[in-house]
């Protein structure tokens, strides 16, 4: 399965990254087996780059996911309207609007809904009062990025590049990638304890 990514750049320097750092399978190791860990795109002050950030399943974080789901629903309606405007009268009568972007948005919507359900389930395994960690280095010094709009041209996301002062800009890459995914396993305290490279691209990794 191919995936696209939202590219993150800086208006002031040559910084370049993407939300692809959150792609893959992240798991907590529990007494009941492996359960899904929901990562969020974040800036780590220790790593000095964008990383997958751990999300603690408390009320605020669940609400943030719900806000992202609402944004995706709005993006879907916006894309449907754009497609309808491009169609002829006959096409409007015979065809449903469709595009690669619309398909990606729909996949993302489903994943966000699954993430909300998984966050609710995580509450029985993870201490909801502890601080979240960077899933790369294990530090607590992370800043979550705002919800990213699904645009094809770079637009400000409402966050400064730490240590630089430039604006973070986001745009959906027109390039789709085939990737070997890692299955990364963590303790319920957010410490990585195992990494497995998987050759098959999972169906649940487009965010």
Supply the pTM of this predicted model.
0.68
- Tens of pLDDT, residues 38-89: 899 999 999 999 999 998 877 567 777 788 888 888 888 888 888 777 766 5
In this prediction, residue 198 has a pLDDT band, given cuts at 50, 70 and 90, of low
Q: How far apart are CA 95 and CA 88, in angstroms?
A: 10
- Residue 74 domain-assigned (yes or no): yes
pLDDT at 161 (0 to 100): 97
- Residue 206 domain-assigned (yes or no): no
- Provide the pairing of β-strand 39-44 with 49-54: antiparallel
pLDDT at 3 (0 to 100): 64
DSSP state of 205: -
- Residue 205 domain-assigned (yes or no): no
Q: Which domain holds residue 111?
A: 6-198
- Residue 69 domain-assigned (yes or no): yes
Contact 39, 26 (CB under 8 A): yes
Question: In sequence order, what are the residues at sequence separation of 6 or more whose Cβ sits closer than 8 angstroms to the Cβ of residue 77?
Answer: none
Residue 140: helix, strand or coil by DSSP? coil
In the numeric block, which tokens belong to residue 25?
């399978």
- Residue 77 domain-assigned (yes or no): yes
- Residue 207 domain-assigned (yes or no): no
Burial class (CB in 10 A: 0-12, 13-18, 19+), 175: exposed
- Residue 1 domain-assigned (yes or no): no
pLDDT at 23 (0 to 100): 86
Q: How far apart are CA 117 and CA 114, in angstroms?
A: 5
Does an H or E element contain 68, and which?
helix 59-86
Q: Considering its fold, how many domains does the chain have in total?
A: 1
- 10-43 as b/e: b if 16+ CB within 10 A: beeeebebbbbbbbbbbbbbeeeeebbbbbbbbb
Of 51, 27, 184, nearest to 121 (Cα)? 27
- Residue 130 domain-assigned (yes or no): yes
Contact 52, 39 (CB under 8 A): yes
Of 144, 70, 140, 158, nearest to 108 (Cα)? 70
In this prediction, residue 178 has a pLDDT band, given cuts at 50, 70 and 90, of low
């Amino acid at each position: 399965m191919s995936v696209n990514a939202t590219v993150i750049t800086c208006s002031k320097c040559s910084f370049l990254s993407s939300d692809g750092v959150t792609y893959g399978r992240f798991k907590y190791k529990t007494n009941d087996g492996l359960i899904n860990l929901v990562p969020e795109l974040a800036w780590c002050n220790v790593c000095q780059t964008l990383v997958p950030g751990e999300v603690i399943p408390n009320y605020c974080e669940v609400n943030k996911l719900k806000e992202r789901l609402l944004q995706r629903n709005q993006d879907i309606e916006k894309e449907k309207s754009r497609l309808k405007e491009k169609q002829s009268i006959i096409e409007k009568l015979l065809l449903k609007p469709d595009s690669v972007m619309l398909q990606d948005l729909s996949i993302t919507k489903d994943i966000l809904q699954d993430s909300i359900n998984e966050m609710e389930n995580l509450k029985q395994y993870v201490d909801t009062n502890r601080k979240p960690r960077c899933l790369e280095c294990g530090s607590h010094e992370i800043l979550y990025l705002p919800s990213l709009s699904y645009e094809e041209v770079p637009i400000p996301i409402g966050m400064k590049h730490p240590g630089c002062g430039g604006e973070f800009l986001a745009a959906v890459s027109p390039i789709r990638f085939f990737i070997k995914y890692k299955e990364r396993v963590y303790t319920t305290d957010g410490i990585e304890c195992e990494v497995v490279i998987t050759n098959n691209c999972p169906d649940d990794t487009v965010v």
